[in-house]
Structure 1
Amino acid sequence: MNLLIMGLPGAGKGTQAAKIVEQFNIAHISTGDMFRAAIGNETGLGLLAKSFMDAGNLVPDDVTNGIVKERLAQEDIKTKGFLLDGYPRTIDQAHALDQNLADLGIALDGVINISIDPAKLQERLSGRIIHKVTGETFHKVFNPPAETYNEEDYYQREDDKPESVARRLEVNIAQGQPIIDHYRTQNLVHDIDGDQDIDLVFADIEKVLSGLK
């Protein structure tokens, strides 16, 4: 099977991706792993990507798309299939992926979209607090340190503050929705309710993927 997995930050995409890869024995292709491998192997595109990263710049789409295509051309993809995680991030990357898959003679079988109300994700992501002395991590709603606690003893990372979380979700929705719409026109999108227990989410994913095999 050749799959994409999509979902907003906090939707549990990483957890479900790991379960899919283990259960269905397909190659897990994440953006970070691809870049590290290309740079470590000193491929032409890997070295080019490194030059941008070392300069503190974003890697251009054409380089990213090329690294993805190199990975998809490797032998294990032919025998095992793949789960793409963290790519495509923009509609332009989605169009490039379509072309690269066509060039390689690979068909995409499905797009798993883990869907949760953004307001609930806001609560999930902005509730993390860290104890100033011990460094222990808690959650205001799901894992509070005690029934009553002194908020002055805890702090939040900048990324966890409500305004930062809201901006991150807005950016991801703006970038991700056109991609989902693009694949929906190809009848590839399978929406999964992410607002349930982790095992129940995966059970729903299993049902979908078992029907694709």
Structure 2
Amino acid sequence: MADPVLRPLKWNQEFHVYAEQHGMFDVLMELFRELVMWKPQDPLAFIRDELPRIGRSIYSPRVFILGEHPAIEIGRNIAESTGALFLTLDDIVTSAPDDIRTHVLPTLYDQGEPDLCLSSLLVATINRRIAMADCMNCGYVIYGFPRSKTEAMNAQLNGLIPRQVFILLPEGLVDPEKPKKGSVGRDHKGSGDSKLLSKLPMSQLQSKRDYLGLKDIGTAYSPEVCRVIPYDRWLTTKQSDLEAEFLGQIIARKPAGAPWIPKIVVIGPPGSGKSVISDHLSEKFNIVKIDWRETIRGISRTDDAISAECRVYLESLTPLSEDTVKIILDRKLNREDCQKKGFVLEGFPESALEAKIMEDMSLTANRIFIVSCTETECFTRMADKREAIYSRRLSFPSLPAFTPGDDDNMLMNPHSEFAVRKRHECFSQNMEDILSFYGSRMVNIDGNHQPSIMKEFAEASVIRPPTLRF
């Protein structure tokens, strides 16, 4: 695949636009993965028979989740958010034919290593269930499988390969991998988990076995696929944040590999977190960041022909004329660095008309983020920002002090409570038209989440076309 940011591109311009719109690059990459995995004797026959299935399930979640009590609820919520089916081992086995259910069900939750023959029968039963149309089309989240590392390896050998595995470890009690105090640099070979287990009280023995068993299962999958969450981490993290983190990993399963130039817009009310996302995407993907309001502010300080109109906009939020918007977009987005590397445009468009102008200029954004946040949270954040700005200004006595009337002057004091409230009102008035214009192309990010969660979700949505919403 061509590098996504370097020119000249190896693909015909019309072809790569068409391919991106229809997800063709993703399908081709998934097809190549399956060819390498299965190594069919007749690749053309394999492509003919399997391509429709691959195309239908290209973005479908295939998730295993294991562990402590929050895991089953998290799995159920993830399935609901992604539109996938949530299945447990009980669900799969009880719906199996009588002869299979009779053999597998009595030993389903036996302690110790599962019998290899019964484990293979269980894998075949799961494969049979997920091959049904509902799982093929919508994907699945399975709780409680695999039960051991051997079963995980056996499942992979038989084609039962998840795209993500999430494991919530129980309390480890005593970590066998952690050297004892005073034993730094000493070789611990031979100390072994069996010796550790033999010294534990019976009340703690089962919990320790669960810990070691789940940890062992995690080693059966590559780190790209499996995410192991330690006990103290999930215990002290909000469940909603864990779910958001897992959702971000599900949609970031793989890069699209398409030779496209990122053209990103990030819109939202003041204080919602637009700059957090824009700064992160600019740094992560080495693309140009353009802050719409700061661009207009810079023009307003010059003797440019449009500077007077820009000052009026900053003072009263009077919309810029179409010609002025076109001039600014042409100056900023048609620069060589933006055209070669891509860009993230923060705070634009502010109306459906401006969105249409951008598309009419062949500057159509291929990722459109809207950051939603409660009005109270936005005002709180902007108040903190305002205090920080005031404190910095007070440290420079040479600068003129603010007077009470400055609070209503949005040009002089753009972070005042009056200015923030006015901008918030303008955004709310135009929000419905913007949503109507972009429709399903918009990706909603909940600005009330932690910044790290917002960044991960935005990054994942840039890597590949998003199929999820917070």
Q: Offset at 1:126?
A: 4.9
The separation in 2 between residues aligned to 1:38 and 1:170, in whole angstroms, is: 24
Structure having greater relative contact order (Cα 8 Å, sep ≥ 6): 1
Aligned match of 2:131: none
Paired positions, count: 179
Q: Any unmatched runs of 5+ in structure 2? A: 1-261, 314-319, 393-403, 408-414
1:47 alignment partner AA: D
Q: Contact 2:274–2:347 (CA<8 Å) still a contact in 1?
A: no
1:193 alignment partner AA: D
The separation in 1 between residues aligned to 2:386 and 2:294, in whole angstroms, is: 29
Aligned match of 1:114: 371
Alignment of 1:47-196 (within 5 A): 47-53=304-310, 56-58=311-313, 59-101=320-362, 106-126=363-383, 136=391, 158=407, 160-161=416-417, 165-184=420-439, 187-196=440-449
Aligned match of 2:269: 8
Q: Offset at 1:170?
A: 1.8
Aligned match of 2:463: 210
* Deviation per residue, 1:40-85 (Å, 9 max, x gap): 9x9xxx82112545xx534533112222023222222221111111
The separation in 2 between residues aligned to 1:38 and 1:169, in whole angstroms, is: 23
Distance 1:10 1:96, change over 3 A: same
Q: Any unmatched runs of 5+ in structure 1? A: 138-154
The separation in 2 between residues aligned to 1:70 and 1:33, in whole angstroms, is: 14
* Deviation per residue, 1:8-30 (Å, 9 max, x gap): 11111112211110001111122
Q: Contact 1:5–1:13 (CA<8 Å) still a contact in 2?
A: yes
Q: Offset at 1:208?
A: 1.1
Q: Contact 1:31–1:85 (CA<8 Å) still a contact in 2?
A: yes
SS in structure 2 of the partner of residue 16 of structure 1: helix
Q: Contact 1:128–1:160 (CA<8 Å) still a contact in 2?
A: no
Aligned match of 1:31: 292
Q: Offset at 1:119?
A: 3.5
The separation in 2 between residues aligned to 1:110 and 1:207, in whole angstroms, is: 11
The separation in 2 between residues aligned to 1:108 and 1:52, in whole angstroms, is: 26
Q: CA RMSD in A?
A: 3.4
The separation in 1 between residues aligned to 2:271 and 2:351, in whole angstroms, is: 19
SS in structure 1 of the partner of residue 348 of structure 2: coil
Q: Offset at 1:97?
A: 0.9
Distance 1:83 1:50, change over 3 A: same
* Deviation per residue, 1:177-204 (Å, 9 max, x gap): 32233112xx321111111211111011
1:11 alignment partner AA: S
Q: Contact 1:115–1:194 (CA<8 Å) still a contact in 2?
A: yes
The separation in 1 between residues aligned to 2:380 and 2:304, in whole angstroms, is: 40
Q: Offset at 1:37?
A: 7.5
The separation in 2 between residues aligned to 1:206 and 1:120, in whole angstroms, is: 23
Larger radius of gyration: 2
The separation in 1 between residues aligned to 2:381 and 2:294, in whole angstroms, is: 26
The separation in 2 between residues aligned to 1:168 and 1:27, in whole angstroms, is: 25
Structure showing the higher strand proportion among its residues: 1
The separation in 2 between residues aligned to 1:189 and 1:198, in whole angstroms, is: 20
Q: Offset at 1:113?
A: 1.1
The separation in 2 between residues aligned to 1:169 and 1:177, in whole angstroms, is: 14
Identity %: 19
The separation in 1 between residues aligned to 2:421 and 2:323, in whole angstroms, is: 29
